[in-house]
Amino acid sequence: MLSESLWIRLPVELIREILLFLAETSMKKARELRLVCSDVNILVLPVLFRHVYLVNYDQVFYLASTLLPKRRDYEIPALKSKLHVLPRNLSSYSVKTWAFIINERRPSIETALSSIAPVFVGLSKLAITGQNLSSNAFWLREHFIHPTVMLLVHFGSPHLVNFYDSVFQRVTHLYTSITHGHRYSTIKDIPHLTHLAVSSRANLHDTTARNLAKSLLQILKTCENLVLFVFMLEFPNDTYDDRTYFQWKLWLFKCLQDKRFILCADFRPPRIEWSDIANDRPTLWDRALIWRKNEDAPPTPNKPIHEDQLRESRSLKASFPPVRRRKEDEWEIDLVQRDSFNVHTDDPDLQDLPGFVSAFGWLCLYRRSCFLCLFCFPSLMLSCWIDFLSFLVTYRLRQWY
């Protein structure tokens, strides 16, 4: 341990490096160093905000108020000169992972995040809902926020996104709850995508499962840059069933002919998947390769093929902390809308509309206002009739198959 006399004689640059090294050893130590003085607080803040986790409304404003300059209109003249000291430049922060999963739509959230947008430049991993992505698309486009790994989750019903957005331009690994988006954009419009994963409940209706299989086959045909495409099956109550699994193998027979495609039943909730990705642990793509390897290996007598892998996942789910925060909901990543989904009263895209937004290409919403547009806006007449006819054709095809 350094003596006080020796510490005083150390160069300022070396002291800064020592403090940063201490802050990086543990988050607890970094929080303690914030209390030393205002200069050390500014120094260690980037260490605390390398991993940002926003899951409710209040956390957004706590983050913004911490990083933004303080107000100058304090009532304490003696402290005023110290309280309004500007913090470090926002662009000097180096956020690596960001989970932005908030089940609310408020303009104030967008305003607060846009004010600290430079913090997220250089981001490499992002978990976000389709609704949050659409609501904050404007300020995200204005900054160089190009993650390479993304999770697109929802809270019961997939929400359309625009795959032409700049946030997707450098994405290589995508675990998504939506494959078709606004302006006829699809997964194939992500230029550098090499690893794709989607998920669904195992107990789907036959017709829905067949349509889903056709959509997955279309993705394989159109996405030539894909190296690995994983389809995760979620069994109810975490009870793996061989009969259901083999039924899915029949539905996905054409997909399984492509070596890039893997059907895997080692499903883990999205929060656990994000924890693995953010902490650089083996991801679902790694587990899918192990799943395939186990299926290709010679069977062991009196032992199910995937018993060890499924046991490990069940143990992890049991030990993973549940959602306890106020105003936080469980993340979902299913391609198909949950049967028990209830439309939120503050969601103008879905309120009072029958049907649902399907993740595999059909927008099953019927807006009565579209018929008014046919007469009020002649320039939209042709496109509206084309959309209406395509809906009828899709509806008939779904009835036949």
Task: Reply yes or no on whether the pLDDT at 357 is more than 60.
Answer: no
pLDDT number for residue 371: 35
Residue 13 pLDDT: 83
Q: What is the pLDDT of residue 270?
A: 94
Output 348 or 4, whichever has higher pLDDT: 4
Question: Given a cut of 90, is residue 376 above it in pLDDT?
Answer: no
Higher-pLDDT residue of 77 and 255 is 255
Per-residue pLDDT reduced to its tens digit, 92-105:
788 899 999 998 88
User: pTM for the whole thing?
Assistant: 0.79
Task: Report whether pLDDT(364) > 70.
Answer: no
**pLDDT (0 to 100) of residue 220:** 94
Q: What is the per-residue pLDDT for 238?
A: 82
Of the spans 57-61, 257-261, 356-360, 385-389, which averages the highest pLDDT? 257-261
Q: What is the dihedral of CA 60, 61, 64, 70, to 10 degrees?
A: -170
Mean pLDDT of 64-73: 72
Confidence bin at 26 (pLDDT 50/70/90): confident
Measure the CA dihedral 166/171/177/183, to 10°: 30
Residues in CB range of 100: below 8 A, 6 or more apart: 52, 54, 113, 126, 127, 128, 129, 132, 136
Per DSSP, the residues of 30-93 read: HHHHTTT-HHHHHHHHHHHTSEEEE-SHHHHHHHHHHHSPPPS--S-HHHHHHHT-----GGG-
Query: Residue ranges per domain, the chain?
Result: 1-48, 50-319, 369-400
Average pLDDT of the segment spanning 229-251: 92
Check if the beta carbon of residue 152 is closer than 8 Å to that of residue 175. Answer: yes
* Lowest-confidence segment of 134-138, 307-311, 382-386 by average pLDDT: 382-386
Return the pLDDT at 147.
96
Amino acid at 174: L
Taking 80 as the threshold, does the pLDDT of residue 1 lie above it?
no
**pLDDT at residue 47, as a whole number:** 79
H helices, E strands: number in the chain: 17, 8
pLDDT tens digits for range 102-147 = 988 888 899 999 999 999 998 999 999 999 999 999 999 999 999 9
| Greater model confidence, 277 or 361 | 277
Element (H, E) at 206: helix 206-222
Measured between alpha carbons, how far is 158 from 357 in angstroms, rounded to an integer? 7
Given a cut of 50, is residue 174 above it in pLDDT?
Answer: yes
pLDDT at 281: 93
User: Rounded to whole angstroms, what are the CA distances from 146 to 141, 271, 348?
Assistant: 9, 22, 28
Q: From 391, 356, 394, select the one nearest 211 (Cα to Cα).
A: 394
φ, ψ at 92 (rounded to 5°): -85, -10
Residue 198 banded pLDDT, cuts 50, 70, 90: very high
C-alpha–C-alpha distance, residues 185 and 176, integer Å: 14
Q: What is the mean pLDDT of the chain?
A: 81
CA distances to 229, 246, 257, 281, 357 from 217, in Å: 11, 18, 10, 29, 20
